[in-house]
Amino acid sequence: MAEPAPILEMTGIGKQFPGVRALDGVDLRLRPGEVHALMGENGAGKSTLIKVLTGVHAADAGTVTLAGRQVAFAGPQEAQRAGISTVYQEVNLCANLSVAENVLIGREPRRFGRIQWGAMRRRAAELLSRLELDVDVTAPLADYSLAIQQMVAIARAVDVEARVLILDEPTSSLDAGEVAQLFRVMRRLKDRGLAILFVSHFLDQVYEIADRMTILRNGRLVGEYRTSELSQRALVGKMIGRELAELERLEDRPPARTTGTLLQAEGVGRAGAIEPFSLTIREGEVVGLAGLLGSGRTELARLLFGADHATSGTLKVDGRPVHLRTPHAAMNHKIAFCSEDRKADGLIPDLTVRENIVLALQAMRGWTRPVPRQQQEELVGRYVKALRISPPDPDVPVRTLSGGNQQKVLLARWLILEPRLLILDEPTRGIDVGAKAEIQRLVAELSDGGMAVLFVSAELEEVLRLSHKVGVLRDRRLIDELPNDAALTTEVLMETIASGGGAVPGSGRHDRGDGGRS
């Protein structure tokens, strides 16, 4: 089988953002008549690569050639004119306009400046019927489900003589039937010779539709593979990678001194974020959550903290049902949450270390009862020392600290509340190896002291090293709960993630219960 020549080739793409090397020497080749999946965890550089391709960002290094000619687009519109169309996860259409207008607005058929509505409706209906879509084109787009809207967006995208179609997580808000319809449309477009770049977190979907895939990790190219030649397990391994072998080993973890059940979730879920799950956390227990990014780990943690409202199920603390409607309510139950994105959700960069640390304590007391300065300094001094925050000066702005030390400041903020359950979402992401080890050591110490910890991390070794029990997530479902014994290895975990646990893999999200979107 002769391989068609690539229509689009990106070679050696590099992109530097302040402080981050987002892309480094990445290649991507799209062939006509193929669906090509772009794989990688969040932060691996997928979005950046797409943005470089569509001209949102300019590349620092590397070349892009389209049909043999070197190109560099100044913006999405220019890329679209050259035949590269993008459909985003959030449908970027105007729901108040009719379907026909959404397909054709900006290039309506006109005569002497007057829009020919009849011709416009016929043309739109024809374009949509080519996608096997039979809808009333005069109805407002808002009358239709998100899936239809997505396909209208695709119809709009492919009408402009598209040669490359980029679908950025198009399936994340569709149900199984809608996904199937989208895939039929994609196959049709593929047969017409379009090159389709497909980004999705759902491995089953990728294996169903993609012919080939490019895997990124940490902004670097891992490789390009044929889907048929790469097992799901191998794919997961390549996406996660292993880089922590050199890290210090913690001594054998003593079994958790599990005195009693602290928190019990029964069928707790949130439509669209995570399917109902049941999880028990005991005092002094470290529960790890493993799964790919986007598998629902953060969503699960946010529900337990009351940052999002659960739409189903009950949550019990100390055996009594509680309603965690707000983080404040969770904090009253001594539950603390260290967020994943310490810059956006956690620290306030221009405040000092001391101010950042006392923030949660102050919030608990309310603004009418300020924490006395002396008590502030005493508490802060104790934790700066205990966590070895460097520099040990509580009055420097937090933005001047390194990532690892910022993370410790965030930890200190929650530790002074003396929580019974500490939720750590990716506490070691983006910090250096030494700081990582220290934070891990701290987690171990805290749990030995009787604190329960829910530990969310993308790094399986880390999860294994710390946890007494590991919950495995995939496609926004808690698919398995494994005790951390000698039999549990990173291989077993990876296998569980890749195979979908004991449960039927499927695409896993058939019953979302909110299909009636219109």
Binding another protein (rule: CB under 8 A), the pick from 181, 227, 352, 407 is 181
Helix (H, G, I), strand (E, B) or coil at 504: coil
Nearer to another protein, 12 or 272 (CB): 272
Taking residue 515's Cβ as centre, other Cβ atoms within 10 Å add up to 15
- In the complex, the smallest distance separating the C-beta of residue 50 from another protein, rounded to whole angstroms, is 14
Pairing of strands 312-317, 164-168: unpaired
Treating both helix axes as pointing N-terminal to C-terminal, what angle do 403-415 and 373-386 enclose, rounded to 10 degrees?
130
In the complex, what is the shortest distance from the CB of residue 93 to another protein, in angstroms, rounded to a whole number?
6
| Residues 283-342 within binding reach of another protein (CB under 8 A) | none
Q: How far is the CB of 135 from another protein (least distance, A)?
A: 5
Nearer to another protein, 44 or 185 (CB): 185
Indicate the residue among 209 and 444 with the shorter CB distance to another protein.
Answer: 209
Q: Which of 48, 80, 406, 499 binds another protein (CB under 8 A)?
A: 80
Give the x-and-dash track for 499-518 against another protein (CB under 8 A).
-------------------x
Q: Which is nearer to another protein, 189 or 479 (CB)?
A: 189
Provide the minimum distance between the beta carbon of 124 and another protein in the complex, in angstroms, as a whole number: 13
Distance separating alpha carbons of residues 232 and 211, to the nearest angstrom:
14
Helix (H) or strand (E) holding 439: helix 433-448
Of the candidate residues 12, 14, 33, 76, the single one contacting another protein (CB under 8 A): 76
CA distance 85 to 114: 27
* Smallest distance, another protein to C-beta of residue 160, A: 9
DSSP 466: H
d(C-alpha 292, C-alpha 201), whole Å: 8
Question: Three-state SS for 487?
Answer: coil
Nearer CB in complex with another protein: 259/518? 518
- Select 106 or 372, whichever has its Cβ closest to another protein: 106
- 179 touches another protein (CB under 8 A): no
CB of 110 to another protein, least distance (A): 7
Residue from 156, 238, 476, 509 touching another protein (CB under 8 A): that is 156
In the complex with another protein, the residue whose CB is nearer, 145 or 490, is 145
Name the residue nearer to another protein (CB basis): 94 or 503.
Answer: 94
Q: Residue 496 burial (CB < 10 Å; 0-12/13-18/19+)?
A: buried
Please name the helix (run of DSSP H) or strand (run of DSSP E) that holds residue 237, with its range, or none: helix 232-240
Q: How far is the CB of 102 from another protein (least distance, A)?
A: 8
Give the shortest CB-144-to-another protein separation in angstroms.
7
Closest to another protein by CB, 71 or 115: 115
d(CA 123, CA 100): 8
Positions 248 through 287 that interact with another protein (CB under 8 A) = none
- Give the nearest distance from C-beta 171 to another protein in angstroms: 16
CB closer to another protein, 188 vs 316:
188
Restricting to residues 92-151, name those near another protein by CB under 8 A.
92-97, 101, 105-106, 108, 110, 113-115, 129, 132-136, 139-140, 142-145, 147-148
Helical residues (DSSP H) of 323-397, grouped into ranges = 327-332, 353-365, 373-386
Looking at residues 382 to 441 of the shown chain, list those that interact with another protein (rule: CB under 8 A).
Answer: none
Residue with smaller CB distance to another protein, 48 or 181: 181
Nearest to 484 by CA among 270, 210, 244, 286: 286
Tokens 């924490």 belong to which residue? 371
Give the Cβ contact number of residue 404 at 10 Å. 21
Report the C-alpha gap between 345 and 358 in whole angstroms.
16
Write the DSSP string, 164-211.
EEEEESTTTT--HHHHHHHHHHHHHHHHTT-EEEEE-S-HHHHHHH-S
Measured CA to CA, the distance from residue 49 to residue 51 in angstroms comes to: 5
Contacts with another protein by CB under 8 A: the residue count is: 35
Binding piece for another protein, criterion CB under 8 A, among 75-83, 351-359, 369-377, 383-391: 75-83
Tokens of 330: 């969770």
CB of residue 345 to another protein, shortest distance in Å: 23
Q: How far is 91 from 151, CA to CA, in rounded Å?
A: 9
SS3 assignment, position 370: coil
Name the CA dihedral angle for 255, 257, 262, 264, rounded to a multiple of 10 degrees: 30
Q: How far apart are CA 464 and CA 486, in angstroms?
A: 10
CA distance 338 to 413: 9
Residue numbers at the binding site for another protein (CB under 8 A) = 76-77, 80, 88, 92-97, 101, 105-106, 108, 110, 113-115, 129, 132-136, 139-140, 142-145, 147-148, 156, 181, 518
